[in-house]
Amino acid sequence: MTNIPENLRYSKDHEWVLVDGDIASIGITDYAQHSLGDVVYIDMPRAGDKFGTHEAFGSVESVKAVSEIFTPIAGEVTEVNDGLNDTPEKVNNDPYGDAWFIKMKMDNPGEADAMLSGAEYEEYLEASA
Amino acid sequence: MRYIPNSPEERQEMLEKIGLASADELFRSIPQDVQLNRRLNVTDALAEAEVIAAMEKFAAKNTAASKSSFLGAGVYSHFSPTIVDHLIQRSEFFTSYTPYQPEISQGTLQYIFEFQTLICQLTGMEVANASMYDGSTAMAEAFLMAQRVTRRDKIVVADTVHPEYLAVAKTYTQHGDLKMGIAAFDEGSGRVSELSQLDDETAALVIQSPNFFGCVEDLQALADQAHAVGALLIVVVTEAISLGLLKSPGACGADIVVGEGQSFGIPMSFGGPHLGLFATREKFVRNMPGRLCGVAYDKNGNRGFVLTLSTREQHIRREKATSNICTNQGLIALAATIYMETMGKKGLQDVAMQNAQKAAYAARKISEIDGIEIAFSAPKFNEFVVRTSKPAEEILNRLRGENGIIGGLPLSRYYTGRPNEFLVCVTETMKKEQIDDLVAGLNEFRF
C-alpha cells in the first residue's frame, strides 16, 4: 500500500512538497522510491541555484536507472540535504521524513496550493495504474 | 575478387521496391549546390600487386625507423617486449569488439580492471577509467569534467602543455562556454611561474609534467595555489615512463591526471592509435567520463567483473551523459597492461632511471660543446632543450643529411620566437655510441 501523507502536496512527477511559510521542502514520493528500487546516489543542486517550475534540479540514481527530479514550484534553493549521499537508503525507508532533497524559497508561495492534494495524488496513481 | 556484395540487378530490384529510378535519387534531399557532381579525384582501380608496389614506394620514404632518432615531444621510442605483441594477437583479444553484453566477457573486463588498477597505482589516484582515445582528448575531457565539478567555466593552462594537446582541447571545447587563460613559464627555470589568471572563477589549473620542454614542474606548490582558489589541478603526463621515477601526481595533490599511455609498449605508429589515460579522486567518479570496470561478488561469493556506473554514460543517459565517449581503446589498453605487468614495479623504475641517466649524459656532453647550452634550469626527465646561436632547422637538416641522425624537434615549429632551440629526447633504446655520434655531429658545427 502506497503511503501518501495528507499534509503534503504532490506533483504528477512524483515529488512531494512540504510548505512552511515561503519555504518548500521537496522530496520524492513513496511510489517513486518503490518504482526506482534501491537508491544509491542523488545528484543535487547547490544552495543559491534558481529554478523555474518543472525544471530538472537533479537526478536520483538507483540500482536500476537514473531519473531526473523536477521542481514542482519555482524558487531558489536555500538548503541541500547533502547527508543523503551517505545514507541514500533513507529515501527508500522513509521518503517523507529525513529524506527531503532540497529546501527552496518559493518565488510565489501560493504555487504549491495548485499542486495535487494527497487524495488527488492517490486518484492520479490509481488512474495511471 | 569483387568487393561489392550486390549485383546491378539486385540494386535495381531494391530501387524498384522503394520506388526510385536510380541511386542518385537517394541523395535528392541534399541541395544541388553542395553535391560534388564529379568523380572523386582518385586513381583508377589497381591490381593487388600494383597496390602493394605503390604502398612500398610510400613506405620507402619513411626513413625514421632506420636512423638514430632523438625525437620525443609526445611520442616516444621505447622497447616493447615480444610478449606484448604476441599476446594481444590472440584472437580472443584481437578480434573481439567492445563488450555490449559485458558480463559474459569476463576476460576483457578483467584486463580492463587490471589496467585501471595499474594506472591508479602509477598516478597515485583512486579511480581510473578503461582508457580514452589518446592523451590530448583525455585532457580535453578533463577540462569539461572540471567544469562539471566546480561549475566554473574558466580553465588556466600552462603554455608548456604540448601545443598539439592545446589545439585539440580548443577544437573539442570551442562550441561550449569554456574560457581559457594561459599561465606563462619562466625563461630561467622553464617552469610555470605566472599564475595571475588563476582566480576564484577558475575551474582548473592545467599543468604538464614533465612539460613540453622536458622540465619537471613543482606540482605540490601548484596544487596548493589551485586549491587556494577552489580550482582543481589537472596534471597532464605525455611521457608515461616518467611515472616510474617521479613522485606521483596524486601524491602531489592532483585532482585529475590525464596522459598518453603510448610509452607503455605501444609502437609510435606515425602518431596513433595511442592510448588516453584518465584518473581522478573517488569523490569525483560520477563526473568522470568514459567506461569504468568494477569488481563484484555473486550470491555465492564468487568474484566477477562488471561495467559499473554506466548510468553516467551515453547509452543510458543520452544527452545528460558525462561524455560522448562510452568506449575505450581496448586492444591498446591491453597492450599497455601486458607491458606494465611484464615490466613490474622494479622494471618500470629501472626503465625510467635509464631514461633519466642517458638523457642526463647526453645533456652534459652536448653542453660541453662551445656555443651550445642546455636551456632551462629545472630538473629534467628524458627530454631537454638545446639552445645554439644558429637556426635549429639548419642544424637538424644537416645532421639528418650528413650524419644520418634525427637530432630532435625544432621548437620553431610551435614557438615562433624560438628559432635557435630544439628539443632532444633520449630513451632507454639509445646506445651510448648513438649519443656520442650526436655529440660528434653537433661538434662539427662552428657556433
**CB-nearest partner of A41 from B151, B286, B317:** B286
pLDDT for B318 beyond 80: no
Read off the C-alpha cell for B443: 661538434
Q: Between B315 and B15, whose confidence is greater?
A: B15
Read off the C-alpha cell for B372: 651550445
Task: Compute φ and ψ for B4, nearest 5 degrees.
Answer: -95, 115
> How confident is the model at residue B306, as a pLDDT?
92
Give the position of cell 606494465: B340
Distance, CA of A41 to chain centre: 15
Percent of chain B with pLDDT over 90: 80
Residues B284 and B141 in one domain: yes
Between positions 32 and 61 of B, the ones with CB within 8 A of A are none
Report the greatest alpha carbon distance in chain B.
80
**pLDDT tens track for B377-387:** 999 999 999 99
Residues B68 and B123 in one domain: no
> How confident is the model at residue B271, as a pLDDT?
86
**pLDDT tens track for B211-251:** 999 999 999 999 999 999 999 999 999 999 999 999 999 99
Examine residue B191 and state whether it is found in any structural domain, yes or no: yes
Domain spanning A9-109: CATH 2.40.50.100: yes
Is any Cβ of chain B less than 8 angstroms from the Cβ of A120?
no
Residues B324 and B379 in one domain: no
B1 band by pLDDT with thresholds 50, 70 and 90? low
Angle between helices B163-173 and B135-150 (to 10 degrees): 50
Question: Taking CB atoms and an 8 Å limit, are A46 and B316 in contact across chains?
Answer: no
Q: Tell me which of B339, B364, B382 is where a domain ends.
A: B339
Q: Can you give the CATH number for the domain in which B407 is found?
A: 3.90.1150.10
pLDDT for B266 beyond 70: yes
Q: What is the mean pLDDT of residues B184-210?
A: 97
Residues B314 and B439 in one domain: no
Q: Between B381 and B269, whose confidence is greater?
A: B381
- Provide, as residue numbers in chain A, all residues whose Cβ is less than 8 Å from the Cβ of B316: 65-66
Residues B380 and B258 in one domain: no
> How confident is the model at residue B101, as a pLDDT?
81
**pLDDT tens track for A74-115:** 999 999 998 898 899 999 999 998 899 999 999 998 898 999
B317 band by pLDDT with thresholds 50, 70 and 90? confident
Residues B229 and B206 in one domain: yes
Examine residue B181 and state whether it is found in any structural domain, yes or no: yes
Is any Cβ of chain B less than 8 angstroms from the Cβ of A47?
no
The reply to whether the predicted model has a pTM over 0.90 is no
Identify the H or E element spanning B114. Answer: helix B106-123
Q: How many angstroms separate the CA of residue A41 from the nearest CA in chain B? A: 9
Under DSSP, the state recorded for B215 is B
> How confident is the model at residue B309, as a pLDDT?
83
SS (H, E, C) B269-300: HHHCCCCEEEEECHHHHHHCCCCCEEEEECCC
Based on the structure, what is the number of domains in chain B?
A: 2
Examine residue B26 and state whether it is found in any structural domain, yes or no: no
pLDDT for B98 beyond 90: no
- Which domain does B398 fall in, by range? 64-78+345-443
Percent of chain B with pLDDT over 70: 98
> How confident is the model at residue B339, as a pLDDT?
98
Residues B154 and B282 in one domain: yes
**pLDDT tens track for B148-164:** 999 999 999 999 999 99
Is any Cβ of chain A less than 8 angstroms from the Cβ of B296?
no
Examine residue B72 and state whether it is found in any structural domain, yes or no: yes
Examine residue B129 and state whether it is found in any structural domain, yes or no: yes
DSSP chain A: -----TTSEE-TTSEEEEEETTEEEEEE-HHHHHHH-SEEEEE---TT-EE-TT-EEEEEEESS-EEEEE-SS-EEEEEE-GGGGT-THHHHH-TTTTT--EEEEESSGGGGGGSBPHHHHHHHHHHH-
> How confident is the model at residue B308, as a pLDDT?
86
Q: Tell me which of B307, B339, B371 is where a domain ends.
A: B339
Examine residue B68 and state whether it is found in any structural domain, yes or no: yes
Examine residue B437 and state whether it is found in any structural domain, yes or no: yes
- Whole-number Å distance between alpha carbons of A56 and A44: 10
A1 band by pLDDT with thresholds 50, 70 and 90? low
Is any Cβ of chain A less than 8 angstroms from the Cβ of B311?
yes
Q: What is the mean pLDDT of residues B47-58?
A: 94
Question: Taking CB atoms and an 8 Å limit, are B317 and A66 in contact across chains?
Answer: yes
> How confident is the model at residue B128, as a pLDDT?
97
DSSP B299-354: TT--EEEEE--GGGSHHHHGGGSS-S-----HHHHHHHHHHHHHHHHHHHHHHHHH
Residues B259 and B354 in one domain: no
Q: Tell me which of B321, B339, B357 is where a domain ends.
A: B339
- Residues in Cβ contact with A92 at an 8 Å cutoff, skipping those fewer than 6 apart: A33, A38, A39
* B405-406/B202-208 β-pairing: unpaired
Examine residue B91 and state whether it is found in any structural domain, yes or no: yes
Q: How many angstroms separate the CA of residue A123 from the nearest CA in chain B? A: 31
> How confident is the model at residue B95, as a pLDDT?
86
Average model confidence (pLDDT) across chain B: 93
Residues B69 and B87 in one domain: no
Q: Is residue B331 within 8 Å of residue B88, measured between CB atoms?
A: yes
**pLDDT tens track for A52-84:** 999 999 999 988 788 899 999 999 999 999 889
